[in-house]
C-alpha cells in the first residue's frame, strides 16, 4: 500500500511569490494535517482537516491556507512568500477525526521549500 505522498519534493521560489503543495493521504485515511519543519527543529502544526473541514489551525499567519478535497487529498497554499518560510512542509494522515488519539500520525517525506 502506498504511504502518504507529497509533491513537489523540492522547489525554489522568490520572495513575494505563491506556492501550492499537494498531499495524498494513505487510502482510507480521512484526516490530513500539515506541519512546518525548520532545519534543526521539530515539526510545527499548521492545519488539520477532517472530512473536508478545517478542524484545527496553528499559530501561522493568514498567508497560509489549505483545503481538503472529496478524495481526502489536500493542498497547502502559502502567499506572499518570505525568506522565513523556507522549510520542509510535512503532510500527515490518520484514520480518526482526532488524528492523534493514539499519538500516531503517518507522515509523507515532505516538500522542501527554499525562498530566495
Partner 1 sequence: GQSLEQPSEVTAVEGAIVQINCTYQTSGFYGLSWYQQHDGGAPTFLSYNALDGLEETGRFSSFLSRSDSYGYLLLQELQMKDSASYFCAVREAGRRALTFGSGTRLQVQP
Distance (Å) of CA 43 to CA 34, 37, 88: 9, 4, 9
Question: What is the phi-psi region of residue 4: left when phi exceeds 0, alpha when psi lies from -120 to 50, beta otherwise?
Answer: beta
Beta strands in 8-109 (DSSP E): 10-13, 19-24, 31-37, 44-50, 53-57, 64-68, 74-78, 87-94, 106-107
Task: Map the footprint of partner 1 across residues 12-41, applying CB under 8 A.
Answer: 33, 40-41
Smallest distance, Å, CB 15 to partner 1? 26
Smallest distance, Å, CB 52 to partner 1? 15
* Binding piece for partner 1, criterion CB under 8 A, among 16-24, 53-61, 63-71, 72-80: 53-61
Smallest distance, Å, CB 55 to partner 1? 5
Residue 98 as a binder of partner 1 (CB under 8 A): the answer is yes
* Binding piece for partner 1, criterion CB under 8 A, among 17-25, 44-52, 63-71, 74-82: 44-52
The residue with cell 499567519 is: 61
Q: Which of 8, 16, 56, 61 binds partner 1 (CB under 8 A)?
A: 56
Amino acid at each position: 500500500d502506498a504511504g502518504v505522498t507529497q509533491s513537489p519534493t523540492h522547489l525554489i521560489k522568490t520572495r513575494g511569490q505563491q506556492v501550492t503543495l499537494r498531499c495524498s493521504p494513505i487510502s482510507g485515511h480521512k484526516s490530513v494535517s500539515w506541519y512546518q519543519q525548520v532545519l534543526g527543529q521539530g515539526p510545527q502544526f499548521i492545519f488539520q482537516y477532517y472530512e473536508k473541514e478545517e478542524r484545527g489551525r496553528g499559530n501561522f499567519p493568514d498567508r497560509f491556507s489549505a483545503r481538503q478535497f472529496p478524495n481526502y487529498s489536500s493542498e497547502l497554499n502559502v502567499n506572499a512568500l518570505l525568506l522565513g518560510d523556507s522549510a520542509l512542509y510535512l503532510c500527515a494522515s490518520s484514520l480518526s477525526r482526532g488524528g492523534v488519539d493514539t499519538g500516531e500520525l503517518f507522515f509523507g517525506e515532505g516538500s522542501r521549500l527554499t525562498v530566495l
